[in-house]
Every structure is written in C-alpha cells, then in structure tokens.
Amino acid sequence: MPMDPEIAALLKQFGVDGPGPDTPPSVAEMRAGNRALSLAVAPDPPIEVASVGDDRVAGVPVRVYRPQGGGTAATVVFFHGGGFVVGDLDTHDGVCRRLCRDLGAVVVSVAYRLAPEFPFPAAFDDCVAVTSHVSDSIADYGGGQLAVAGDSAGAGLAAGVALAFRDEGRPLAAQLLAYPCTDLSGDGAHPSRTENATGYLLTTAEVENDTLLYLGDDPAAGGRAPASPLLAGNFAGLAPAVIGCGECDPLRDEGLAYADALSAAGVPVKKHRYPGLIHGFLNFDTKSAAVDAAVTEMYREFGELLNS
C-alpha cells in the first residue's frame, strides 16, 4: 500500500522517510526528535479555544482546554502517544485543541510519567488516577458525559482505563482510540509488524525497544491487561469505541484486532482502516487532506457517542 503522497513528502522534508537507525538513539535523543517533529507540524496559529490552563490533578500535571460557549459540555480525558517513552503536553497541544473545538468538549490532557524512569504501571496508574478524579469532580469540568481518548501508547492507556472503569462500575460514555498499542506480548501474531516494519516513520524495531523500556523489570506484564488490553479476555460492557488505524502502520493489526474483539463482545464500535496513512497521523491533519478527512470522521463519530 503506497503512502499518502502528502505524508510521504512531509517525511522526506524532515529527513525521516527512510529506515530507522541501526543503533537505537538515546532516550534524550528520542524525546528531542519527537518533540521537534511534533512542534514543526503543529497548527500555526494554534486553534482557538476559550481557555487553556495547566494544573495538577491527583499529583499529575495536566492541561485543561475549555470550549467556546457556556453551559454543560462533555469532558474528554486525553492521553498522548509516544511509546510510553516520549511525548508531552506540547507535542499533542494541536490535537487537544482540535478535539476541544470540534466536539465542544472540555479536554483534560494528561502528562503521565514516562519510561524508562517510571516503568509500567506508573503511566497506567497516573491515567486511572486523573480520570477517576475528573469523574468524581465532573461539575468542575464540563459537567456532562465523560470519555477517554488517546493515540498510540496513549490509546492503549485509554483502553486500559476503560477496562478499569468497567470493572469498577464507573460510567464512561465513549473511547476514542487512534492507532492503539494493544498487545505488548511480543508473540508475533500481527502481520503488520513485519509488513510495515520500516519506511513509515514508526518502525517495528522502535516499537520493540519502547516496549522493553516500558515493561522494565516486569516483561511478563506484556502478556496481560492492562499493559496489553487486547489480552484482557472479557470485553463485555465496555464503553462504545471509535478506533482508527493507518494502513501503513506496524501497529495496524493489533488496533483492528481490538476493534474486532470489542465488537464480538457486543460493544458498539466504529472501526476504520485508512489507506495510505501512517502511525501518528493525528498530528498531521494540517499537512494532509487524507489525514484531515480521517480525523474529521473519527471526531464526528466520537462526538456523536458523547452527545447521544
């Protein structure tokens, strides 16, 4: 499957269109590179919302985006991608601003702790803690329905939070999972890990390195939920989901498999396999018409779940 030409041109422009390096970069280099690319493709000027403010919730740094207009609004707790190792509130500022604007929702973006300094389950614990606080204090946010969202590793964390909320009997209206990382077991069951191993920005070698850093001294955690939501076993009663994956993504098949698992358990799911799109496409919506169309569709469907 050929890459979307606008995305291919963008990767060439930034010199990230070839195979990954033979030797993995340092964590500091990974973070700097991810941040530089993310900020370079961010909307300029930034999407306008009513207000943006940094805070701490349950001891975790967050950024709260509030939409134009008054009255009750849905609240979305958002978890950024980055392989559990890179990414921050700034790398996904444009994504959260668009979510806030397009959905008319309050968005709480979470700066969970990163590996390898804080391996599993630190990130998951932070995400559950923030979402639980927002749920308990919903009147301080939008006052309406609560949902979770994320991309890549953040989508895997969102799926884990949805499982935890289901198990605790906490209400959750919807989940938006963009190219989610759902299986850290490393059992080789997903052909896209081989098919899209190199040449599409994220490489399979990077996925495997990030997984090692994230699981740390507990590699067996990758064989079960919440580290691997796909291996949860029971998906009944989960919040309705919108799941979108790019055709040219090493994580494509595990994301689509998660959509199928939810659907088989009777969970309403909107499942999308977008031709020509790569991992991380949410950040490229202003650079590619195909990405913009995909993001528009996913956000519209997510908003319909929130407002139903």
Residues involved in catalysis: 152, 249, 279
What 3 state SS string does 124-162 have? Answer: HHHHHHHHHHHHHCHHHCCEEEEEEEEECHHHHHHHHHH
> Cis peptide before 116, with omega less than 30 degrees from 0?
yes
CA distance 92 to 121: 22
Place of tokens 């958002």: 78
Query: Longest Cα pair distance anywhere in the chain, in angstroms?
Result: 53
End-to-end CA distance of the chain: 36
CA distance 110 to 153: 13
Cβ atoms of residues 298 and 178 within 8 Å: yes
Burial of residue 202, with CB atoms counted within 10 A of its CB: 0-12 exposed, 13-18 middle, 19 or more buried? buried
